Chain A
Amino acid sequence: MRLRLALAAAIAAFAIQPAAAQGCGDGQRLFTHDAGETCIPADPQRIVSFDSQWIGAPLHEIGAPVVGSVGYVTEGRNDGRPYMRSLQEIAGLNFGDGGITFIGNWRSPDFEVIAGLTPDLIIILDASIDILDQLSAIAPTVVIAESQPWLDTYRQVADAAGRSDAYEAQLPLYQAELARARAIAAARLGDPANVQLVIAVPTFDEGLWVSREYGAITQVMRDLGFTMPAAVANMEEEWTQFSPELVGEIDADFMLTTYTTFFENDGPDDKRAAFDAILPGWSEFLHAPRNNQHLFFNRERIRAVMFASLQETLQVFLTNVVTRDFVALER
């Protein structure tokens, strides 16, 4: 995957090199992104987004002009019409609202529809790197890495949209809340680094997945100064499968599992059932569930890159981890 990505990035960088060497045209600027450098409009007016949670959500929050977006079509949801994941749930935003056109699923986008929208900027995740050339033929296309600290994603998307000021304008409010939260954490916990959390998501077919980077969760965890068990902090990949024999290495004061009401059978109880299936006795031998310190978070909210999610996640951590008494894991 990494090799393929690097290769595609190299090709893309090569393809755009001449333009970059000549400098960008009037009203354009050179933008550095995950696949090289691209001339993009300084003030884009017609943006196409290739992910509603990582790209569409921040664009919506900063008021950037989006004309097209990928979406999902699920039987029995939204009357079978396409919808934008998280954006519909959180912001009530649907296709058609504010002139946003459905451009297909991110895996199989409709290039003709995209071209028909005459976008002046296309923003994609690295997962769509394979179609970078086709999209670049329609409009300048920039690539955002999905696996990076949450605020970096936001900053990069806002920058591409020419709206860094809107991003910067919201930052102080979060930082003020964070400062209050840190003061409370220091008073309650002393050194918050002594509190360890692990993000563990069980699946019936693939066993236990552990995450080192997970949207707003890890952004807030780090901002509050909490830590992860060394076995997790040192993981090379953002997500790693842990075999049941090694599960002792990820025992922590708190365990976090995400669920969604977006898909069927993926709620907290389904997750507990998956734990039962792959780690019988887990709720007794792991410290966090044994002491009711196993937390379940709604994935739809924490995956949407919005200050609103960050602020909410901060309060969720404060109330669950900082201001409630808990039993510390003896290490």
Chain B
Amino acid sequence: MSAAPTACTWERIRPLTRLLAILMCLALPAAAQDTRGFTDDQGREVQIPAAPQRIASICAEQFTTALYELGAPVVASSGRTADGVNGGAPYIRGALTVFDLSFENSDIAYVGDWKEPDLEAIAAASPDLIVISENTAAVLDQLTAIAPTVVLDYRDTPWLDRYRRLADAAGRLPKFERRLASYNRRLEAGRIVVADALGDPSQVSVAIAEVFGERFLVYREYSALTEVIRDLGFSMPPMIAATEAGFTEISLERLPEVDADFLIGTYNVFFDQTPSSQRAAFEALLPMWDEVLHAPRHGQHIYVDRNMVRPLSFEMLQTTLALLVTNIAGRDFVPLPE
């Protein structure tokens, strides 16, 4: 980047201030190059700008959304395409549904899918920092040739830690802390209600499980859902709490171990999934599931819109808090027998 700031355009500066202007112009590139060490989630020590000005994000839902929420300068983002979403044109998953942010209504350049980022387009956006998830690590070397690149885990790291790491890399920790304080105030109100309605929240168990075709998955980490479940003090069935990965496929014989007071599943109309189709998937794989499992038997199977709980955003964390408080503490339920 060689473009000089307009404030340093020589003709516009009075003679008496020329010396000062020279000093400023000399100082600017030096200031822009202020860097610091950042250890990413692959343990790599990367020299990144202290205050990044042009960030490329290769994970729209998890990174672009959060960076936008923090007011970080995103110049490029990966995108996704799906029939019926944004007219089939690439969209910024998460940020579109949370903030109505699109490639069309912003200056953010589309740089391909996260699976196959367009390296030329990324280079053309002249980023000073590139943020990718482990899913894109195959092209790490090529990206590093363009700009300092950090790899952040998005699947197994708890929501808040993940968001803090990203905010740190983007030089936006103060804004992150302000949003966190706001969430904590509302969490406190939620905890009062939970204590009032349930006493000890750890006596209430919540399981997150999904059926995808032949696969039955349970989740120890599910973005805002598990952050709020933990923050409110609810428990998970021990089998799920003990799983190593963020989510795990389990065999159908272990179904009874998944049983809990509440069962949570997700759907996404963008991918033609509705609560009905998700229930049908359960039915196809596990006939009588809603008789065998306690939660569905008692109308305690909650379905949430994935677009509301997955994007990394305090907006969605607060929505998730509201829907868990109203569903679990804000109405009576039938407890799972001991």
A residues touching B (Cβ–Cβ < 8 Å)? 89-92, 170, 172-173, 176-177, 180-181, 183-184, 187-188, 259, 261, 267-269, 289, 291-298, 300-301, 308, 311-312, 315-316, 318-320, 322-327
7 nearest A-B residue pairs (beta carbon): A323-B303, A296-B330, A173-B100, A325-B299, A323-B275, A267-B196, A292-B332
With A294-B332, A320-B331 known to touch, is A326 a contact of B299 (CB < 8 Å)? yes
Contact check: which of A177, A188, A269, A308 meets B197 at CB < 8 Å? Answer: A269
| Complex contact B182–A90 (CB within 8 A) | yes
Report chain A residues within 8 Å CB of B33. none
Report chain B residues within 8 Å CB of A297. 326, 330
* A17 → B minimal CB distance (Å): 43
**Chain B binding site: helix, strand, loop or mixed by DSSP?**
helix
With A90-B186, A261-B189, A267-B192 known to touch, is A316 a contact of B296 (CB < 8 Å)? no
Selected A-B contacts with CB under 8 Å, 29 pairs: A89-B186, A90-B182, A90-B186, A92-B178, A92-B182, A173-B99, A183-B269, A184-B267, A187-B275, A187-B276, A188-B274, A261-B189, A268-B193, A268-B197, A269-B196, A269-B197, A292-B334, A293-B331, A295-B326, A295-B330, A296-B193, A296-B330, A298-B193, A319-B303, A320-B323, A320-B331, A323-B267, A323-B304, A324-B302
| Complex contact A319–B327 (CB within 8 A) | yes
**Chain A binding site: helix, strand, loop or mixed by DSSP?**
helix
Contact check: which of B192, B299, B325 meets A292 at CB < 8 Å? Answer: B299
Report chain B residues within 8 Å CB of A289. 332
* B273 → A minimal CB distance (Å): 10
* B115 → A minimal CB distance (Å): 26
| Complex contact B322–A172 (CB within 8 A) | no
Report chain A residues within 8 Å CB of B196. 267-269
- Report the bound CA distance from A267 to B109 in whole Å: 48
Report chain A residues within 8 Å CB of B303. 319, 323-324
- Report the bound CA distance from A183 to B267 in whole Å: 13
Report chain A residues within 8 Å CB of B299. 291-292, 324-327
B181 within 8 Å of A (CB atoms): yes
B254 within 8 Å of A (CB atoms): no
* A261 → B minimal CB distance (Å): 4
Please give me the residue from chain A that is nearest to B99 by CB atom.
A173
| Complex contact B275–A184 (CB within 8 A) | yes
- Report the bound CA distance from A180 to B296 in whole Å: 24
| Complex contact A294–B305 (CB within 8 A) | no
| Complex contact A268–B274 (CB within 8 A) | no
* B4 → A minimal CB distance (Å): 32
Contact check: which of B185, B302, B305, B331 meets A295 at CB < 8 Å? Answer: B331
* B295 → A minimal CB distance (Å): 10
- Chain B interface category by residue count: 35 or more
B residues touching A (Cβ–Cβ < 8 Å)? 97, 99-100, 178, 181-182, 185-186, 189, 192-193, 196-197, 267, 269, 274-276, 296, 298-305, 307-308, 315, 318-319, 322-323, 325-327, 329-334
- Report the bound CA distance from A250 to B178 in whole Å: 44
Report chain A residues within 8 Å CB of B193. 259, 261, 267-268, 296, 298
With A89-B185, A187-B276, A267-B193 known to touch, is A298 a contact of B331 (CB < 8 Å)? no
- Report the bound CA distance from A255 to B186 in whole Å: 24
- Report the bound CA distance from A291 to B331 in whole Å: 10
Give the one of B99, B193, B298, B322 with max A CB within 10 A.
B322
Contact check: which of A316, A326, A327 meets B326 at CB < 8 Å? Answer: A316
- Report the bound CA distance from A324 to B319 in whole Å: 17
* B65 → A minimal CB distance (Å): 13
Report chain A residues within 8 Å CB of B185. 89, 92
| Complex contact B181–A325 (CB within 8 A) | no
Contact check: which of A172, A300, A301, A320 meets B327 at CB < 8 Å? Answer: A320
Please give me the residue from chain B that is nearest to A323 by CB atom.
B303
- Report the bound CA distance from A91 to B196 in whole Å: 25
Report chain B residues within 8 Å CB of A324. 299-303, 327
6 more CB-based (< 8 A) A-B contacts, given A294-B332, A324-B303: A184-B274, A184-B305, A259-B193, A298-B193, A312-B322, A318-B304
- Report the bound CA distance from A268 to B199 in whole Å: 13
| Complex contact B329–A323 (CB within 8 A) | no
Report chain A residues within 8 Å CB of B325. 298
